[in-house]
Amino acid sequence: LKHKNLTIGTIFPMTGGWAGGKACLPAVKMALDDINKRHDVLPDYNLEMDYKDSQCMPGLGTKVLYELLYNPPTKILVLTGCSIVSTFVAEAAKMWNLVVLAYGASSPALSNRDRFPTFFRTHPSATLHNPTRVKLFQRYKWKRIATIQVSLEVFTSTIDDLERKVKEANIDIAVRQSFLTDPTNAVKNLKRQDARIIVGVFYEDMARRVFCQAYKEKLYGKKYVWFIIGWYPDNWYMAEDKSINCTVDQLKEALEGHFTTEAMILNQQPTKTLANMTSQRYKERLDSKLNVSDTSQVTGYPESPLAYDALWAVALALNKTAARLALKNLTLDEFDYNKKHITDEIYSAMDSTSFLGVSGNVAFSSEGDRIALTQIEQMINGTYHLMGYYDSVTDNLTWLDKEQWLGGKPPPDHTRFVRFL
Ligand SMILES: CC1(C)CO[C@@H](CC(=O)O)CN1
């Protein structure tokens, strides 16, 4: 039983822009143990991994990919983290007929079958937020939207996608502002162009600068509605920040009432997953492996269910492939980088993935993107409160009717001129 080995090449960012490997590597090790104990999954094979650190840098990521591919044993598939590493690895890996599965890549640019024909990701694309935003614009009859973003590819392509989606809904992005590190002019322009319903996409360091400027420009309060990203650490606006000259209370005042959207990447139900474990039990097991006091501060902790489930997606796809190859008297351990017919089987098995993981139901779109629910929260009195969920596949918004409006009702999306007859 499990007398043959299959090796997965895995790349983790242990430091750098997103050091998600800190929690995702232990999660993948846990998944390997769990899978190798199962006799009903890959009964003939023991799954192993050969892992490298990319430091979330594309150059190093490319170098370690070559190390993985030019050293035995043959790798059956590659696992990656950061977007900037995944784009290089997924672009190159097809030359070795390798499927690539990312557990930590959010860039919309990766949803591209021409550039990345063998790419999948258990991490949702940043564009997952956009159908939710449109749904809320429609709910409150807002047709004039403003956006402000940091000039980074991941945010530019997210807003480009939002523009396409609002156009389909007959909604207009009337004001679009971007900045590199200083949002002063962008925020002034939003005020000058009478922006009211504003979508902001940036990392939390820039979010503090934007809302400090919004405080100064009085671009907040009952006339305005802000939508920003929901996966910042809970008290992100209280962090010590020498780059702004606003107090926490001033930021808190500017932030009062804003909405956030984020992908749901931890199964909320108390049900047991395919791994015979609830997501709560998963967290307990990972916490014991991380053995630090506050595990939620470990980079990659929120994404670790995506890494754990990525291994299960690999195991199930290889299990399915082994059975199909057997019909042609072929086996998985015959794979080498020239056997595209085996890659095609792995690809189609991965494409048809559907199982309940600790991150919720795991399934991929035709571009390999993770299909997931989003949750909407609102900051009320300095803390986030759950407002509802949105399933873009069924276009179903579950709304708890708890939102608060500083002016007692949703503000209009522009100044209403009363015509004096
Ligand atoms: C939600 C976040 C923080 C988005 O960036 C991902 C990293 C990346 O896309 O490179 C990790 N998860």
CB-based contact 290:26 (threshold 8 Å): yes
Query: Ligand 1, residues 22, 83, 107: which to mutate, most atoms within 8 A of Cβ?
Result: 83
Q: How confident is the model at residue 291 (pLDDT cuts 50, 70, 90)?
A: confident
Does the beta carbon of 232 sit less than 6 angstroms from any atom of ligand 1? no
Kindly report the protein residue whose alpha carbon is nearest to atom 12 of ligand 1: 104
Q: pLDDT per residue over 190-213, tens digit each?
A: 999 999 999 999 999 999 999 999
Instruction: Phi first, then psi: give them for residue 419, nearest 5 degrees.
Output: -80, 115
The Cα 214–Cα 199 span in angstroms is 13
Q: How confident is the model at residue 276 (pLDDT cuts 50, 70, 90)?
A: very high
Q: pLDDT per residue over 37-93, tens digit each?
A: 999 999 999 999 999 999 999 999 999 999 999 999 999 999 999 999 999 999 999
The yes/no answer to whether this complex scores an ipTM above 0.90 is: yes
- Mean pLDDT score across all residues of the chain: 97
Residue 124 has pLDDT above 80, yes or no: yes
Q: How confident is the model at residue 421 (pLDDT cuts 50, 70, 90)?
A: low
Q: For residue 279, what are its two tokens? A: 């997501």
- CA diameter of the chain: 87
Residue 417 has pLDDT above 80, yes or no: no
Going by their DSSP bridges, the two strands 144-150 and 75-80 should be labelled as: unpaired
Does the beta carbon of 104 sit less than 6 angstroms from any atom of ligand 1? yes
Q: pLDDT per residue over 219-270, tens digit each?
A: 999 999 999 999 998 899 999 999 999 999 999 999 999 999 999 999 999 9
pTM value is 0.94
Share of the chain above pLDDT 70, in %: 99
Does the beta carbon of 81 sit less than 6 angstroms from any atom of ligand 1? no
Output DSSP code: residue 72.
S
Inter-CA distances, 313 with 24, 49, 309, Å: 15, 15, 6
